[in-house]
Amino acid sequence: MSQSAQLTENAGRVTARLAGPEPDAPLLAAWRDLSDALVEENPFYEPWSLTPALAAYGAPGRVRLACAYDGARLIALVPVTPARGYAHLPLAHWRNWTHPHCYFGAPLVRRGHEEAALCALFALLCDGPDGRGFVRFDRIDRNGPLAAFAQAAAARERRLIYEAGRRARAVLHGGASADATLAAHLRKKKRKELTRLRRRLEELGSVAVHQYADGDDLAAWAQAFLTLEDRGWKGRAKSSLKAKPADANWFRATLAGATAAGKLNFMRIDLDGRPIAMLVNFLSAGAGYSVKICHDPEYARYSPGVMIEVEAMRALLGRDEFRFMDSCAAPDHSMINGLWRARRDITGINVSGRAGPARAGLRLCRALEGARARLPKGPPS
């Protein structure tokens, strides 16, 4: 066993180790079991989602799986990659690994083992033979349970911890009816405009809303999405999923994994049997993430992107278990910001090693980032 695969002791029977990016059968089974008992869901790091992402985007030798165990039971897992350089300082550290289509980065942590699991991960990544001074977990919910448990775990071991990189993005919360939510989120004038556009679209042909279900041809749905997205601006910019084989392969494999895991929410609006808008969401224990959306530019005047988001709102808010849908959109995304008024604060946390030099290095990073944040903004261009 290599040094990086050796167990690092932490708090009695709790241990942690680094594993390779291609899990063996026992780890894969333990990973699936962990995914069914999470304190905070993250479908992007569940095995059905992360394994095709690693195959498509994981640079050889650059991604590891940091795993924490209570005895033989897996209690935490997060993909990590080594990095050097932070806040313009040449500091070596670990950070959670994300890929171009990964919009949330919270480690998978078993409910009831939160502090012990995080302490084990901190010890592995910051202090042990594989430690690199500090670890950064980016793209986590600032107000979520993991952020709070990370604060508690760091305080328990006298580690420096601070937040950096906060941004807010639109989120849809459950708990109300679709009609009440739409009334609260959309002005009456906007609702009337959408109704008018829907009627005008129906004058062109038969309009139908479909949701992917067992028995549908997933390969055909995936190909329809790839073709439709490529018709728009992403196709012209060569940034559509279809433009790169790695992206298209990731998309197909991830949809297949989500379907097998029961986590796929895939919708489309058809005009005379041909899709003019499509939307892919992941749903895990009532927590949703909007992953991809596209529409036919030929029908842009009818706002098909807004139309399918409204249909998704109606479908999701009709589910008893639905808790929220994260838009995964840019903070300034005008379309979704106009539909969903609530915001979710996404941020990153930096956690130091316990040694004095590690704490001092991260303290300097915090000071530099704070100083830059206080600099006056330039005049608008």
**Prediction pTM value:** 0.92
Residues 228 and 223: their CA atoms lie apart, in Å, by: 8
Query: What pLDDT band is residue 381 in, cutting at 50, 70 and 90?
Result: very low
Among the residues of 137-286, which ranges form H helices?
145-156, 178-185, 188-202, 218-231, 233-236, 245-261
Residues 266 and 244: their CA atoms lie apart, in Å, by: 22
Q: Where are the domains of the chain?
A: 3-168+346-373, 175-322
Q: Which CATH number describes the domain made up of 3-168+346-373?
A: 3.40.630.30
Do 186 and 216 form a contact (C-beta atoms < 8 A)?
no
Query: What pLDDT band is residue 8 in, cutting at 50, 70 and 90?
Result: very low
Residue 373, pLDDT score: 76
- What is the CB neighbour count within 10 angstroms for residue 237? 9
Residue 379, pLDDT score: 53
Residues 270 and 249: their CA atoms lie apart, in Å, by: 25
Interval 355-366 mean pLDDT:
94
Return the closest-CA partner of residue 351 out of 142, 132, 144: 132
Q: Which CATH number describes the domain made up of 175-322?
A: 3.40.630.30
The torsion defined by the Cα of 118, 92, 86 and 291, in degrees rounded to 10, comes to: -50
Tell me the pLDDT tens digit for each residue of 92-127: 999 999 999 999 999 999 999 999 999 999 999 999
What DSSP string describes 256-308? HHHHHHT-EEEEEEEETTEEEEEEEEEEETTEEEEEEEEE-GGGGGG-HHHHH
* Helical (H) or strand (E) element with 374: helix 356-374
Tell me the pLDDT tens digit for each residue of 153-204: 999 999 999 999 999 999 999 998 888 888 888 888 989 999 999 999 999 9
Tell me the pLDDT tens digit for each residue of 22-52: 999 999 999 999 999 999 999 999 999 999 9
- What is the CB neighbour count within 10 angstroms for residue 69? 21
3 has pLDDT over 60: no
